Amino acid sequence: MRWGFALVAISIFPVQAQEQPPAKQPEQDPFADLSEKAAAPPALTLKKTFFRSFFTDNFGFRKEIMSQFTMSGDGNAASRQSVGFEVLKKFSTETSTVASLNFQGRLVRRDGFNPAQNDMEGENRAGWAFEYHNAYLDLYNVLNPFLGSGQKGKQLGRFNLRAGRFYMPFGLNLQTDTHGTVLQLSNERNFGFERDWYTGLWGTLNKHLNYDAYYVVGSGYDLAFRGQSGLGALRVSMANQYSSRYGLEGGVSVIGGERLGMYPMNRKAIETKRIGVDGRYRHAVRTGLVTFTEELSGGQDAKQSVNMQLHQAEYLHASRRWGVASQYRRYSQDGAGGDASLLGEFTWYFRNDVGNSNLHWIKFNVERRLERMQASSPKTVFTLQYYFYR
């Protein structure tokens, strides 16, 4: 009976067979459908020539257009039109930059002359002229060939060599590009030129201070020796970290020796001594950026005491679309009187890159000349300027 029940149960509830795992497929050769071919030769790489490498590796080229019109209070009109360029080239190894080259020039057409701040040299350049501005070479870490591997890191950035034409190593001009602006700093009036030819060392003294130490030819625009012995110049300034962290720049400058006079009819050697202190403070406010600039200096020209002061205030709107500025400057010399001016300026910016590599603006500047050593000089000068740099 029990066996019959078991057979009935098996017939009603059949036992399912256990699943067997699928049979393992043989591995396929991933290269089975490829025919054997000879390896292709490597692509040919053309070796760069020096000319090709110079104009492609670390090479910058900037274009410049300037159109400027001036009018004096007595109705004398003048214009200056120019197209220019700037070449910037760096020479590097796989691990460091060893040198850089800068050249900046303009082809200029002048009709008439008014003594605008940014064109004091134009009085003697009527008609067409090609003008060079920056023309210098920097060599970085020039003592490295004489230092051991351990010392190179400690002296990094401390000894760099500069040779050529650049801003006078006195005051804030070394760290301020006034190439395109109407408002200028004090060196043009203080020495007769804002740029000169020189050579020497620059770099860091420590984490707080930078230095510049140069021999300056003292000839201004043209590289020439006409009896002057030249000038020795030393400037100690605040390290770059103070500008980026606190908006502060400043330093102390000393210069002495002989330079040529500023006027063509009086290009004789002048014994020159100056000591100066300068500072700049940038402060962000709710609607923009406020900047205050000071340059003060004193000394002697041919045994006569001279003094120079410059005070400037600027405001740039947060949009970087417009700004206003004012400046008071005064130069005085014993026995000759003084030159003093009060200036006001409005600027509308189409482009205003923080790094000054892309600029496009229109400026309107008014200079009221409060004191003049030369009585015939106009009392008021109006300047309208269009500028493009990219």
Residue 348 has pLDDT above 70, yes or no: yes
Residue 40 has pLDDT above 70, yes or no: no
Q: Distance between CA atoms of 384 and 263, rounded to whole angstroms?
A: 26
Q: Distance between CA atoms of 156 and 207, rounded to whole angstroms?
A: 12
- Residue 96's pLDDT is 86
Neighbours of 33 (CB within 10 A): 7
Residue 251 has pLDDT above 60, yes or no: yes
Confidence at 24, pLDDT banded by 50, 70, 90: low
The average confidence (pLDDT) of the chain is: 89
Q: Distance between CA atoms of 36 and 345, rounded to whole angstroms?
A: 77
- Residue 12's pLDDT is 40
Q: Distance between CA atoms of 249 and 247, rounded to whole angstroms?
A: 7
- Residue 7's pLDDT is 35
Q: What angle do CA 77, 80, 83 make, to 5 degrees?
A: 160
- Residue 16's pLDDT is 46
Residue 262 has pLDDT above 90, yes or no: no
Q: Distance between CA atoms of 175 and 250, rounded to whole angstroms?
A: 10
- Residue 265's pLDDT is 64
Q: Is the pLDDT higher at 315 or at 50?
A: 315
- Residue 153's pLDDT is 85
Confidence at 30, pLDDT banded by 50, 70, 90: low
pLDDT tens-digit readout, 193-249: 999 999 999 999 999 999 999 999 999 999 999 999 999 999 999 999 999 999 999
Q: Is the pLDDT higher at 357 or at 305?
A: 305
Residue 10 has pLDDT above 50, yes or no: no
- Residue 376's pLDDT is 81
Which whole-number Å values give the CA distances from 205 to 156, 158, 160, 236, 253, in the listed order?
Answer: 11, 7, 12, 9, 15
What are 301's two structure tokens? 């020209």
Name the residue with tokens 């256990």. Answer: 18
Q: Is the pLDDT higher at 163 or at 147?
A: 163
pLDDT tens-digit readout, 318-330: 999 999 999 999 9
Confidence at 34, pLDDT banded by 50, 70, 90: low
pTM here is 0.84
- Residue 300's pLDDT is 97
Residue 182 has pLDDT above 50, yes or no: yes
> What CATH number belongs to 57-389?
2.40.160.10
- Residue 263's pLDDT is 74
pLDDT tens-digit readout, 66-100: 999 999 999 999 999 999 999 999 999 888 899 99
